[in-house]
Structure 1
């Protein structure tokens, strides 16, 4: 048993006694490119990373759900028959929200859960996915719990259905109006591949990254500035996109391309136009990045990463001074490309760097933060890894 599984098993025993029925895990994700495009039915290109959340789970004979997390004190209890979105709060809203959404899926009609099929559960969560860093620690929790419950309840749901369940939990229970990208990456990831996600029809395509062949890898620069997708910033960006689509006479911004920008500039107020411009150009950058990977290799995607950050900083206005410094420092130190990643308003940036330069780039970024008087960032490499799974 590896260290993460041993830790998960021991934590379960400390909270609930005895051994779990099994251990499941799901990864965090880095979005290589395609930010805020998912809820606009556009394109995104995330990858699962080698940092995971583990859930140790054991079925009960009653209808009680008990959840514990090594990141928070205490055990939260809820009854399956009393699960409602407005009754769930705090960190437990993520795992219990998944249980609520899966009980609806088990019923088949969106109604009350099927008591004959579903039993209570003891769930113990451990993780090495940094929280609040834009690496989707929340989706890692949701997807680890989803695959565990899917197995123990015998529901037979496929990965796309589990992704929708995770999104439903985050939207309706947690209250964050996120798209489906994070859950898709966590469930569908493959080693050394990114996932081209078409958020309009939820079709996915695994695309080889070729980072190892190019002698390159990703550095994550966690600025240690917190953010929350459930706050007004994320929701206001989504509203601006919806307003822009409505004014342009389309169902979603996915229907628009670069050729529509002049008309958008005439129709929309200045701020809404900039929000719309980010989504339109970001969708194109996703497609250009995939084409470059396939045609020219990893070293060719830098300009798209750099342009994405400028768009998020200036048009979508979701960057921060710390993120801007991380990106600018990486670029000045010779990174192939760099951008903030995740929902914004804090969190992490990524830099694609040649392996021989990784230490120098990381050290230079740390010195830049020290000179600016910022909290020291956490800088670490990540590799594209496999998705959610049963480990034991």
Structure 2
């Protein structure tokens, strides 16, 4: 989806639905987390980049307190909500993402009245590519401008996180919103989740003859339920027993002592976080000194840690990683919260067809549903596009 096409088609769909042109169109990208999984809520380090798949929203302000929302997916039609009675009960389904952002902004004192909103997204849902944060960041960018709130990008990150935590009910950190709002073309975002300080790290894959292939396993996951919250609780328990504010404060040298203080499962969870933080730091260093072709082993080690210590992989993700590595990938790992979603493979551009074909054949041979496989490149962050 090119930027010009998205803006024109979103504007046209908005006008068709609501009978007038929007005040503007804003987009925000999904993301691939290059490395640093589940470290964000442990106040550690992450290294995501924005991808060239995005959510777009067209918005027009109204003079009353009515919000009318429509999306391009599903057949739900226009959802109408009175903002004066906005509550957790009235923010349901897909509307929880845009309305959650509006609710948080209004809680902060930003004056937002009624509006019409149309949403279209090319970020696959349930694929671990942060489709929800893309929506939140596009909506936050739109209302930040339309309301004159003039919030900084870092403040908008926290708006999106609050919407995700308090309205959607997913206990996520700031990784996804930071990637969507802070990214620039051709760079990854090195983020310190404790201080919210970020640095752009060059990730020029094309210049190195490389690309990142995403394998969406089609195994859907939901952060608001199940395993994600259980892993977070394990991390909090580990930090409490070890007497630190967050697992960010545990060094690799401390792990031997931690093994004697924690039960076996909690120790494995802690070990993943501690070693993953170090892998993020190592990846940033290697990108700076040697370039992207040299980070493959770190990516693969990250997957092994998530598979064995954090136990958030699944047979489809493991098959995607193993098959990519056996067919020329320099490194591969699952990405996102786990329990499904996507794997990524860092591959020579010339090997794309071979890796694609091998993964498709492996899934068919294992009786798994066919995955969706596509290349991504580091893209710009949230912005107004019309």
Q: Does 1:68 align with 2:76?
A: no
Structure-to-structure mapping, 1:44-193, within 5 angstroms? 44-72=46-74, 73-105=76-108, 107=109, 117-193=111-187
CA distance in 2 between counterparts of 1:254 and 1:65 reads 41
Report the CA distance between 1:77 and its aligned residue.
Answer: 2.0
SS at 1:54 equivalent: strand
Which of the residues 176, 195, 199 maps onto 2:189?
Answer: 195
Report the CA distance between 1:121 and its aligned residue.
Answer: 1.0
Runs of 4+ aligned structure 1 residues displaced above 3 Å come to none
Partner of residue 29, structure 1: 31
Report the CA distance between 1:79 and its aligned residue.
Answer: 2.3
CA distance in 2 between counterparts of 1:381 and 1:290 reads 22
CA distance in 2 between counterparts of 1:34 and 1:300 reads 17
CA distance in 1 between counterparts of 2:41 and 2:90 reads 26
Partner of residue 344, structure 1: 338
Structure-to-structure mapping, 1:1-392, within 5 angstroms? 2-72=4-74, 73-105=76-108, 107=109, 117-392=111-386
Q: How far does the alpha carbon of each residue in 1:31-65 deviate from its partner, in whole angstroms, 9 at most, with x for none?
A: 00000000000000000000011101000001111
Report the CA distance between 1:17 and its aligned residue.
Answer: 1.4
Q: Once superposed, what is the RMSD of the aligned Cα atoms? A: 1.0
Unmatched segments (≥5 aa) in structure 2: none
CA distance in 2 between counterparts of 1:218 and 1:17 reads 41
Instruction: Say whether the 8 Å CA contact 2:81–2:90 is kept in structure 1.
Output: no
Report the CA distance between 1:118 and its aligned residue.
Answer: 2.4
CA distance in 2 between counterparts of 1:284 and 1:75 reads 47
CA distance in 1 between counterparts of 2:292 and 2:144 reads 36
CA distance in 2 between counterparts of 1:165 and 1:75 reads 25
CA distance in 1 between counterparts of 2:341 and 2:306 reads 14
SS at 1:316 equivalent: coil
Instruction: Say whether the 8 Å CA contact 1:312–1:319 is kept in structure 2.
Output: yes
